[in-house]
Amino acid sequence: HTCLLDIQDLRVHFILEDSAVRAVDGVSLKVHEGETLTLIGESGSGKSILGTSILRLLPPNARIDGKILFNGLDLLNLPEDDLRKIRGRDIAWVPQNPATSLNPVLKVGIQIAEPMETHLNMNRESALKKVIKLLKFFDIEPAEKRVNEYPHQYSGGMRQRALVAMGTSTKPKLIIADEPTKGVDASKKVRVVELFRKIKKNGKLSMLVITHDLPFARTLADRIAVMYCGQIVEICNADTFFEEPLHPYSKALLDSLPSRGLKPIKGNSPSMVSPPEGCRFHPRCEYANSRCRKEPPLIELNGNSVRCWLYD
Ligand code: SF4
Ligand code: MG
């Protein structure tokens, strides 16, 4: 498998008045061509910040270190103009909140057409024809009417699908989606799942899907990466993960699912300002021993990786 996105030792810190939040703390992660990697973890674990940093969409008080290579291009050191070309053409970002991500005073059709006009040199007329096809593909019907409507005339689900349509219109190599099922009620979730499966089936593209929704991750992922307190604690083939996860935190996450006994994870989410010493999961881990006072490295295990002394 060719590596499309190669994140190396990424660190994102937010400098506050008298402290620093280490939101992403030494993350290395690869996304291969054609694969869907799902990044899971509780909210506040740094998942979205990691996703946001790839396209340099972070707020100004963020300090970012490490390397992000996309097709060999060093994204963190790319001039802003070059990065803008990659954004929207090669990498699509599907943000978490569809309500605030569309311009309320512009017709949705024109908004979806725009990246095709900018990046594929299409004229308005042919771009709009393509938009109608996309609206049909994503079940935004009647497409000929919807193309001329404004965001407020769309339902929440339609707005979200419109954003995905916009993201996929330029046939990007990579889609990064942040919590696509967040705030979607259970009855509508099926459609989001279908939508992403459809995109996956339709193209050779790669996806990085950030989610705290494990059943959703299961339907989609080729591999799973688990984030805990700013670090990756497990990277695992999806089938293996849902049968037999490696890391104690992954086990606890799965045991907290209704289908697996609804056992809540004990203890509290750790502080990103002063993370626990040693293994960051140790205050909540039922396997912790004295060894865990030292921070475990990511340990390779049959092509998977796990950050836990039990596998040393
Ligand atoms: Fe638990 Fe120790 Fe493994 Fe950390 S290193 S997850 S505390 S057993
Ligand atoms: Mg988030």
Query: Where does the pLDDT of residue 186 fall: very low under 50, low under 70, confident under 90, or very high at 90 and above?
Result: confident
Q: Is the pLDDT reported for residue 85 higher than 80?
A: yes
**Residue 32 has what pLDDT?**
96
Cα gap 131→312, rounded to integer Å: 53
Angle at 88 between CA 86 and CA 93, to 5 degrees: 105
Give the global pTM. 0.92
Q: Is the pLDDT reported for residue 268 higher than 90?
A: no
Query: Where does the pLDDT of residue 235 fall: very low under 50, low under 70, confident under 90, or very high at 90 and above?
Result: very high
Atom of ligand 1 nearest to the CA of 279: 4
Strands (E), 109-156: none
Residue of the nearest CA to atom 5 in ligand 1? 308
Residue of the nearest CA to atom 3 in ligand 1? 308
Tell me the percentage of the chain whose pLDDT exceeds 70.
100
Atom of ligand 1 nearest to the CA of 309: 5
Residues having CB closer than 6 A to ligand 1 are: 248, 279, 281-282, 285, 287-288, 292, 296, 308-310
Distance 179 CA to ligand 2 centre (A): 7
Within 8 A by CB and 6+ apart from 267, the residues are 283, 284
All residues with CB under 5 Å from ion ligand 2: 48
Lowest-confidence segment of 44-58, 223-237, 242-256 by average pLDDT: 44-58
Mean pLDDT rounded to a whole number for the chain = 92
Tell me the percentage of the chain whose pLDDT exceeds 90.
69
Residue from 246, 251, 281 whose mutation best tests the ligand 1 pocket (most atoms within 8 A of CB): 281
CA 198 to centroid of chain Cα atoms: 17
Distance 4 CA to ligand 2 centre (A): 23
Q: Is the pLDDT reported for residue 188 higher than 80?
A: no
Distance 39 CA to ligand 1 centre (A): 20
Residue from 234, 301, 310 whose mutation best tests the ligand 1 pocket (most atoms within 8 A of CB): 310
**Residue 272 has what pLDDT?**
87
Distance 178 CA to ligand 2 centre (A): 7
Distance 176 CA to ligand 2 centre (A): 13
Query: Where does the pLDDT of residue 168 fall: very low under 50, low under 70, confident under 90, or very high at 90 and above?
Result: confident
**Residue 78 has what pLDDT?**
95
- Using N-to-C axis directions, what is the helix angle for 108-120 and 124-137, rounded to 10°? 120
What's the average model confidence in pLDDT over 281-298? 96
Which ligand is the nearest neighbour of the Cα of 43?
Answer: 2
**Residue 1 has what pLDDT?**
76
Atom of ligand 1 nearest to the CA of 249: 6
Strands (E), the chain: 3-15, 20-32, 36-40, 62-70, 73-74, 91-94, 174-178, 206-210, 223-228, 231-237, 299-301, 304-306
pLDDT in tens, 108-153: 999 999 999 999 999 999 999 999 999 998 889 999 999 999 999 9
What's the average model confidence in pLDDT over 261-287? 91
Specify the DSSP class assigned to residue 87.
B
pLDDT in tens, 4-24: 999 999 999 998 888 889 999
pLDDT in tens, 243-257: 999 999 999 999 999
b/e 156-180 (16+ beta carbons within 10 angstroms → b): ebbbbbbbbbbbbbbebbbbbbbbb
**Residue 68 has what pLDDT?**
98
| ipTM score assigned to the predicted complex | 0.96
Distance 46 CA to ligand 2 centre (A): 7
Distance 28 CA to ligand 2 centre (A): 19
Which ligand is the nearest neighbour of the Cα of 296?
Answer: 1
